[in-house]
Amino acid sequence: MSSSNENAVEKPKHFIQHIIEADLASGKHARIHTRFPPEPNGYLHIGHAKAICINFGLAEQYGGLCNLRFDDTNPEKEEAHYEQAIEADVRWLGFDWGERLYHASDYFDQLYQFAIELIEKGLAYVCELGPEEMRAQRGTLTEPGQNSPYRDRSVAENLRLFEAMKNGEFEEGKAVLRAKIDMASPNLNLRDPVIYRVRFAEHHATGDRWCIYPMYDYTHCISDALEGITHSLCTLEFEDHRPLYDWFLDQVSVPCHPQQIEFARLELDYIITSKRKLNQLVQEGLVNGWDDPRMPTLSGMRRRGIPPEAIRDLIDRVGVTKKKATIELGLLETCVRDWLGPRAPRYMAVLDPIKVVITNYPEGEEEQLDAPLHSQNPEMGTRKLPFGREIYIERDDFMEDPPKKYFRLKPGGAVRLRYAYIIDFEQVVRDESGRIVEIHCTYDPDTRSGIGTSERKVKGTIHWVPARASQPARVRLIDRLFTVPDPDRRDEPFTAFINPEAMREMPEARLEPALSAIEPGQPVQFERLGYFTPDSHDHQPGAPVFNRIMTLRDTWAKKKS
């Protein structure tokens, strides 16, 4: 994307922007107000990033406000540490809710009073059908449901029974409060949905004050109204819930009536965004927690080193529509490379080292070579590379019996060391098992990069690190978590498609000395190998651990072809 205003092409507005602009122009709203309402029962994933960017981004674009509200109506699954993780993720993506942090539990008293209002209007009743009976009477898409035998209770009896529910006089599953709408409605969500259920569970915010908890469909719309939300933006699976959203707001005395608008969620191949299935991966020990760098959670992607700007760029490129589509994961990888390419400083690391001894280089001597931190961005400056008699190169940068067009080190051949000299093969040294443990070469002192006098040319250039000054490290090669693009749409369990190569550790890697100053959160490019960053958990001074953020090019394109 060009930074020049002259070359910039204005992107067409999407349908939600058209709605907002029309509402502002007509005076329906003086200022827009949106919200992001996650459930604190797990970590956010890449799919949530779209909802975050749309809600906060539109509020920012149109000078409005956006709330962060936790939908904490299920005390059995929700925990405070999930809230902390969600807050960190939203901030990481570049957004802030200011003083507008709310919880559905903030409104429990008001929600209870609104439920009483529904009962008093004859629009809600206490039902004592069991869960299975209620499900059997709900009907199907082609058959109407059946009225509950408790549907015509008097207002007085419903008020008494609802208070009994609140006071803990019913066991769990023995009574619920239902809205009285239409059991013959073609929309199953309107067939007398449950509003409240009994749960004897301590809530992380309200403790044991309540033993009845409101349902999402009831809570969400009223919370929106109480907060003055103008545009309630959600994904397409809530489209069928919109009539219920509107029904609740039309029946109770709320201060405003927000407009629910649905958009297509972000779906990527090779990724699962079911919070339940992600939790399964964690609980079964198939990954090392929610923030495992293989996970599509935002915390996992942050730990891996994915820049938040790349995620925002992806969402911008995908756009906002009502059309369901699965996006190729390669697009996210392209966004990552596009962001890191001009910004990540370059260094050298050797992941599978083999020692090279330069036999004609003076023992005990060392010289400092200058190497740019970015060949296309000289303003980044340079770093020093110590060069001496012994270095490490990648084991696969040498072959004794190479194929044609192999331009790296080989018997009878020569290769240039990046930023250094041309070296000529001399011999190999083997251990007792016959494995090559050293390569002996000579160097051509007139071929030093940048200042050498020789006009000698070779076809291959390889990277290296100094043997003495390099730092031992563990490097994790992170890749796609699944081997197939649709792991949750197959006959076998999705866990059968976990990629065994999704995280390979190179325990004997060596890093050039300048990498010792790199800290977690700082992306770098290991030349020829990819983009990497120190692991936020395991990296320590003197014992570095780096994660691969991304390869330099799409290696999966070849696998698919």
484-542 residue pLDDT tens: 999 988 889 999 999 999 999 999 999 999 999 999 999 999 999 999 999 999 999 89
Same domain, 71 and 199: yes
Taking residues 134-149, what's their average pLDDT? 95
pTM of the model as a whole:
0.92
* pLDDT classification of 3: cutoffs 50, 70, 90: very low
Same domain, 201 and 251: yes
The whole-number pLDDT of residue 557 equals 62
Ordered alpha helix ranges (H), 1-45: 15-26
Same domain, 153 and 185: yes
Task: Tell me which of 217, 242, 263 is where a domain ends.
Answer: 263
- Strand-pair category, 65-70 with 33-36: parallel
Q: Is residue 336 part of a domain?
A: yes
- What is each CA distance from 352 to 241, 392, 465, 469, in whole angstroms? 55, 9, 12, 17
Same domain, 450 and 327: no
Q: Is residue 468 part of a domain?
A: no
Same domain, 24 and 164: yes
Q: Is residue 537 part of a domain?
A: yes
The CATH code of the domain that includes 196 is: 3.40.50.620
Same domain, 169 and 291: no
Same domain, 66 and 184: yes
CA distance 195 to 216: 8
CA distance 37 to 283: 25
Q: Is residue 539 part of a domain?
A: yes
DSSP 213-272: EE-HHHHHHHHHHHTT-SEEEEEGGGGGGHHHHHHHHHHS--S--PEEEEE---EETT--
* Domain interval for residue 280: 275-345+478-510+518-560
* pLDDT classification of 267: cutoffs 50, 70, 90: very high
Same domain, 407 and 486: no
- Count how many domains the chain has: 3
The whole-number pLDDT of residue 2 equals 38
Q: Is residue 470 part of a domain?
A: no
Q: Which residues contact 88 (CB under 8 A, 6 or more apart)?
A: 299
The CATH code of the domain that includes 504 is: 1.10.1160.10
**Residue-wise pLDDT tens digits, 238-260:** 999 999 999 999 999 999 999 99
Q: Is residue 473 part of a domain?
A: no
Same domain, 69 and 83: yes
The CATH code of the domain that includes 441 is: 2.40.240.10
Taking residues 221-226, what's their average pLDDT? 98
The whole-number pLDDT of residue 180 equals 98
Q: Is residue 7 part of a domain?
A: no
**Residue-wise pLDDT tens digits, 6-34:** 455 678 999 999 999 999 999 999 999 99
CA distance 490 to 214: 35
Q: Which residues contact 379 (CB under 8 A, 6 or more apart)?
A: none
- What is each CA distance from 560 to 59, 453, 482, in whole angstroms? 40, 47, 14
* CB-based contact 43:82 (threshold 8 Å): yes
Closest to 392 (Cα-Cα) out of 494, 466, 460:
466
Q: Is residue 6 part of a domain?
A: no
Q: What is the three-class DSSP state of 186?
A: coil
**Residue-wise pLDDT tens digits, 400-455:** 999 999 999 999 999 999 999 999 999 999 999 999 999 999 999 999 998 988 88
Closest to 32 (Cα-Cα) out of 40, 42, 21:
21
Residue 360 — left, alpha, or beta (φ > 0 → left; ψ -120 to 50 → alpha)? Answer: alpha
Task: Tell me which of 263, 283, 304 is where a domain ends.
Answer: 263
Taking residues 286-308, what's their average pLDDT? 97
Taking residues 55-59, what's their average pLDDT? 98
Closest to 214 (Cα-Cα) out of 244, 240, 247, 178:
178
Residue reference for tokens 């067009």: 405
Q: Which residues face 331 on adjacent strands?
A: none
Q: Which residues contact 511 (CB under 8 A, 6 or more apart)?
A: 347, 349, 465, 470, 471, 473, 544, 546
Does 96 score more than 80 pLDDT?
Answer: yes
Same domain, 338 and 358: no
Taking residues 79-108, what's their average pLDDT? 96
Same domain, 91 and 131: yes
The whole-number pLDDT of residue 553 equals 87
CA distance 476 to 538: 11
Task: Tell me which of 219, 243, 263 is where a domain ends.
Answer: 263
Same domain, 166 and 36: yes
Q: Within 10 Å of residue 475's Cβ, how many Cβ atoms? A: 26
Q: What is the three-class DSSP state of 98?
A: coil
Residues labelled catalytic: 39, 265, 275
